[in-house]
Structure 1
Amino acid sequence: MGKVFLYQKVYEELLERIQNGTYPPGEKLPADDELCREFSVSAITVKKALEMLAESGCVKRVPGNGSFVRKQEKAGGEKGGKDHLLGLVLEHVSTPFGLEMMYRMDCLAKKTGYSLIVRFSYGDRERETEEIHFLMSLHVDGMIIMPCHGKNYSPAILQLYLDDFPVVLIDKKMKGIPVPSVRTDNKAATAALVRALAEDGCRRIALFTTEDTEAISVQERRNGFINEMERLGLTEAGICVLPSGGGKESLLDNHPCPEAIQAAVWFLEKGRTEMDAIIAEEYGIVPAITAAAGKVGISLDKEIRLACVDEDYLAPYGPAFLHVKQDEAAIAEKAVEVLLGRIAGGRDDNEVLIHGIYNHIKSKMDKN
């Protein structure tokens, strides 16, 4: 009988645990050092066993995060029908961001022979998981997802990655997990607004942002603001963090929550004389700022300049503020391109940043 190497014994034991459900799909295997202690073997032996499991398609090795059990395909599970489908899961859409992108994706899908199935999570993680599972039940060929805000990644999205299912994220990215991401260059967006205000003579600029500090887009925009203020030697007039309010219901209307208005009122009253400009990290918080300014008697753009990321292009009088608009057409085109590349077996473009479109518009707030 031939010699059985230690790594083969470790491989076979871990394989048995995967097959009998001890380690179910999506489960993270014990850390390498833990396996070394359990089997009384070296790190090299454990590494070899895990590499064998990865080569056999049983686990997915994620650098810096560990090894995860992959879903095993069932025999005879071929896709029924001849339709070619792509799935799109959006957190929400609005005229400031998302509507144009969604339409453009649908047009691009049709041009390439696909039908686009659009679903919404409304910022609810459980709903997001349900919609992903629903799209999988339709046997879509790939998926574009705008993930819900939050500190932790979605287990459903992680499972798609572990299964090597073609998926592309838009607007956000997953920390530590190399799922392809197409989104705005958020640092550059707020940096451009700082430079524009500085060119107009503003020297004391405040940033208004949301309380969702774990969101990648929020972090990037905040860092872009801080870094550019420091680079230009300008005075940071503070960062006002507004409460998000009513959860998914707040995505369905344009009315700011009273708590956000009150927080903005308090910040403006306290720092009114210390600021000459405000940057809103996203257009969704502009209503709270304008309502608060009205309560404390501040004339926006006469007393304090207001700039923001995104604007409402379908408002009755068009966009009102100096702003950077996310290039929705470019995001849509690149996201579909990357997804189709993944469906074809490509592995390039893990992270694509799209430059925003700068628009220097004088305020219309005071026009009567």
Structure 2
Amino acid sequence: MQETLYEKIYNRLIYDIRTSKLKPGDRVPSEKELADEYKVSRITTKKAMEMLAQSGYIERIRGKGSYVTNVDAGRDHMPQSERPKDTIGDIEARSKVIGLLLPDLSDSFGLRLFRAIEQQCAKMNCQLLIKLTGNKQDVEETAIRDWIKFGVDGLIVLPACGAHYNGELVRLVLDGFPIVLLNQSFKGIAACTIGTDHKHAAYDLTDYLFDKGYLDIAFITTSIENNSTYEAQFQGYTNAIVQRGQVVHPAYVVEDQLILGDFIDQHPNVKAFVVSEYQLGINLQQELQRRRNDWAECEVVCFNSPQEQGVAPIFTSIQQNEEQLGVEAVHLLNAQWNHETYELHNHVNYKLIYK
């Protein structure tokens, strides 16, 4: 399985740190130096450096550079051929290996989750493998097959969206392999899940818009089919409308982004929008600014608008508790390993952040 470019850079630097080629206090090559060395863009090296900082391997100091923190060097990231031969005691004490599959890492969602999982793995002496799937099921399936052959002990997965459930994931769940699904569930299949209560969260967002005086409220998403997160958000949206004594208009639900502009033109009365994702909210805002003279009177609310200290958020949004999500996901895997009792469907807290 081929690594992405930033995964390659990330893993190379971890190897240098863990083998003491880069020692605590040493300066790490800059984003530009890495970009020149690997002949990649600064965006690629920036993501690798952000992952290292989130994992606690480096500290980034504005105007000075990035430096290795006091991380114990070890053999865990050394190539197999360079590791000393295991003794029987080593084999018995070998730590668990967790595979983490995410569609992407971003400030809006993913980076804090990854950091929390990585830190919890370190506390529990677990090793962590990570693969970003780009929300592609074939990439996800290939990674799962490769990791199972490698011998991972459990998986934490935010499944890629598709017309059907991932066959590899479903098979492993039915076989009883330790898996925790993030923010998703499979209908009719008893899989361990943990995530935000998206139904209640979408209800809160819709209710907020009603409180501001909006009556015609649209729901903007990608395909709801086979996506339990978006299904739950849609249920919360409709529940809030019904609770207010209003009618749910099917025409106000947009799942095809190609018709988003036409929807805006054809429904000038709709000035409030509940949006399933932050980037989708950005796209909608841009369309409103292009097509509506009254765009400033419109309001978009969404999930996972990035939060920067001292900077007002772009949208009122639901902020998921990624730290709790990551920690609890590892705990649920541990419960499965130890044959402990655990709940199949688990929720973490969220916050409604006002712009």
TM-score (norm 1): 0.67
Give the drift of 1:164. 2.0
**What does 1:283-298 correspond to in 2, within 5 Å?**
283-298=278-293
Query: Which residue among 333, 337, 340 is the counterpart of 2:327?
Result: 333
Name the CA shift for 1:158/1:297 in 2 (closer, same or farther; >3 Å): closer
**What does 1:80-119 correspond to in 2, within 5 Å?**
82-119=94-131
2:224·2:231 contact (CA, 8 Å) conserved in 1? no
1:91·1:148 contact (CA, 8 Å) conserved in 2? yes
1:120·1:131 contact (CA, 8 Å) conserved in 2? no
Matched, 1:324 2:339: no
1:326·1:355 contact (CA, 8 Å) conserved in 2? yes
SS in 1 for 2:297: coil
Matched, 1:271 2:271: no
Give the drift of 1:299. 4.7
- Partner residue in 1 for 2:254: 241
- Partner residue in 1 for 2:347: 353
Give the drift of 1:81. 8.5
CA deviation profile, 1:136-162 (whole Å, cap 9, x unmatched): 233222111111112422221122223
Find the aligned partners of 2:278 and 2:104 in 1 and give their Cα distance. Answer: 14
- Partner residue in 1 for 2:36: none
Name the CA shift for 1:315/1:295 in 2 (closer, same or farther; >3 Å): farther
Find the aligned partners of 2:141 and 2:319 in 1 and give their Cα distance. Answer: 30
Structure 1 unaligned regions, length at least 5: 1-78, 244-259, 362-368
User: Which segments of structure 1 move beyond 3 Å, counting only runs of 4 or more?
Assistant: 234-238, 314-318
Amino acid corresponding to residue 177 of structure 2 in structure 1: F
SS in 2 for 1:133: helix
Matched, 1:230 2:226: no
Query: Which residue among 298, 307, 310 is the counterpart of 1:313?
Result: 307
* Higher alpha-carbon deviation: 275-284 or 228-237: 228-237
CA deviation profile, 1:297-322 (whole Å, cap 9, x unmatched): 3454x311211111022599452111
Amino acid corresponding to residue 254 of structure 2 in structure 1: V
- Partner residue in 2 for 1:141: 153
Find the aligned partners of 2:218 and 2:167 in 1 and give their Cα distance. Answer: 36
CA deviation profile, 1:300-348 (whole Å, cap 9, x unmatched): 4x31121111102259945211111111112112211111101111242
- Partner residue in 2 for 1:247: none
Give the drift of 1:100. 0.7
**What does 1:175-254 correspond to in 2, within 5 Å?**
175-234=187-246, 236=248, 238-243=251-256
Name the CA shift for 1:268/1:220 in 2 (closer, same or farther; >3 Å): same
SS in 1 for 2:267: helix
CA deviation profile, 1:218-277 (whole Å, cap 9, x unmatched): 11111110111111124556424243xxxxxxxxxxxxxxxx3x52221111111x2231
Amino acid corresponding to residue 285 of structure 1 in structure 2: L
SS in 2 for 1:195: helix
- Partner residue in 1 for 2:336: 342
SS in 1 for 2:146: helix
TM-score (norm 2): 0.69
Find the aligned partners of 2:271 and 2:247 in 1 and give their Cα distance. Answer: 10
Q: Percent identity?
A: 21
CA deviation profile, 1:144-189 (whole Å, cap 9, x unmatched): 1111112422221122223322111112111111010111111111
1:203·1:235 contact (CA, 8 Å) conserved in 2? no
Name the CA shift for 1:82/1:318 in 2 (closer, same or farther; >3 Å): same
Task: Calculate the aligned-residue CA RMSD, in Å.
Answer: 2.2
Amino acid corresponding to residue 312 of structure 1 in structure 2: P
2:281·2:301 contact (CA, 8 Å) conserved in 1? no
Find the aligned partners of 1:299 and 1:325 in 2 and give their Cα distance. Answer: 28
* Higher alpha-carbon deviation: 308-317 or 278-287: 308-317
Determine which structure has more spread, i.e. the larger CA radius of gyration.
Answer: 1
Find the aligned partners of 2:194 and 2:342 in 1 and give their Cα distance. Answer: 12
- Partner residue in 2 for 1:40: none
Matched, 1:155 2:167: yes
